[in-house]
Amino acid sequence: MPTHTTTTHLTIAFIGGGNMANALIGGLIAQGQPAAQIEVVEPWDEARARLLQSFGVTAQAAPGAALARADLVVWAVKPQTFRDAAHAAAPHLPTTALHLSVAAGIPTASIARWLGSDRIVRAMPNTPALVQRGMTGLFACPEVDSAGRAQVEQVIATTGQWLWVEAEAQLDAVTALSGSGPAYVFLFLEAMEQAGIAMGLPATQARQLAVATFQGASALAAQSHEAPEVLRQRVTSKGGTTHAAISHMQAQGVPEHFIAAIRAAEQRARELAQEFGE
């Protein structure tokens, strides 16, 4: 098996060339990965055209001989298409390849069965990876050595932060928190923008105020040694405006509903494994 010290020496094959693949490929190209050392299998014409236009990467409509040179294979298909995509691509892939799956829910045991390899890392990224501000949870099978983990880290590092979880089941929690999480933030942004408009602000200003508030509060939480609860209390003057809003949310059970919603995402991740992992 060849040894590699930098990402630029790897040939990386993507099975699926949609949103997540674009985020990773964009990060890799920006870090100097040659487009010629990226292989993509993507059946959708428009998606292949986007890859060529955005990154100069030529994608194939179906798996073929070009996959034989892959050192690392990134599985970026929907959970429901993973098994078919795996069966179609597996005969073309070298047995030495390291596999990195970003598919929500699909367990390593299923992937290993479909591919005949245990060299598998599962990743749960999120869409801020598109702007190099992603957060990714990673889990490695015991068969992946430290060099394999380092290869994965080099790829994921192009999209932002990452952490390793010890148990595969914890990836369902990562999926529910940070994988789906950007959608929760966007929902709050939508509501804040609507409220701003209802209070008489122009839409552009309402959006700017909402987005900048999330950016600022997140930066403050990231840099502070205080818990979010303490930071919240500092904003909340007794008898003031924040107290009026937070009391309303608490009386309506917003925190409990929010936690229950995140648990629903975790549950759905488990169901995906049962529905599409067989």
Ligand X SMILES: O=C(O)[C@@H]1CCC=N1
Residues in touch with ligand NAI (CB under 6 A): 15-21, 41-44, 47, 76-79, 81, 84-85, 88, 102-104, 124-127, 179
Cβ closest to ligand NAI, residue 26 vs residue 79: 79
The binding site for ligand X (CB under 6 A) comprises 104, 175, 179-180
In whole angstroms, what is the distance from residue 278 CA to residue 273 CA?
8
Residue in the shown chain whose Cβ atom is closest to ligand NAI: 18
CB of 27 to ligand X, least distance (A): 17
Q: Measured in Å, how far apart are the chain's first and last C-alpha atoms? A: 30
Rounded to 10°, the helix 241-251/254-276 angle is: 50
Helices (H), the chain: 19-30, 45-55, 79-89, 108-115, 146-156, 170-174, 181-198, 203-223, 228-235, 241-251, 254-276
Residue 43 binding result from ligand NAI, ligand X, none, given CB thresholds of 5 to 8 Å by partner type: ligand NAI
Cβ closest to ligand X, residue 177 vs residue 231: 177
Cβ closest to ligand X, residue 19 vs residue 194: 19
CB of 130 to ligand X, least distance (A): 13
Q: 74 phi and psi, to 5 degrees?
A: -100, 120
Residue 44 binding result from ligand NAI, ligand X, none, given CB thresholds of 5 to 8 Å by partner type: ligand NAI
Do 24 and 158 meet the contact criterion of CB atoms below 8 Å apart? yes
Residue 47 binding result from ligand X, ligand NAI, none, given CB thresholds of 5 to 8 Å by partner type: ligand NAI
In whole angstroms, what is the distance from residue 235 CA to residue 230 CA?
9
CB of 12 to ligand X, least distance (A): 21
CB of 95 to ligand X, least distance (A): 29
Residue 57 carries which DSSP code? P
Cβ closest to ligand NAI, residue 112 vs residue 246: 112
Residues 6 or more apart whose CB falls under 8 angstroms from that of 161 comprise 134, 135, 136
Cβ closest to ligand X, residue 158 vs residue 180: 180
- Which residue's structure tokens are 């122009």? 202
Residue 158 binding result from ligand X, ligand NAI, none, given CB thresholds of 5 to 8 Å by partner type: none
* The token pair that represents 171 in the structure block: 């990836």
**Pairing assessment for the beta strands 160-164 and 59-60 based on DSSP bridges:** unpaired
Cβ closest to ligand X, residue 33 vs residue 180: 180
In whole angstroms, what is the distance from residue 188 CA to residue 245 CA?
14
CB of 222 to ligand NAI, least distance (A): 21
Residue 17 binding result from ligand X, ligand NAI, none, given CB thresholds of 5 to 8 Å by partner type: ligand NAI
SS3 62: coil
Cβ closest to ligand NAI, residue 157 vs residue 197: 157
CB of 247 to ligand X, least distance (A): 32
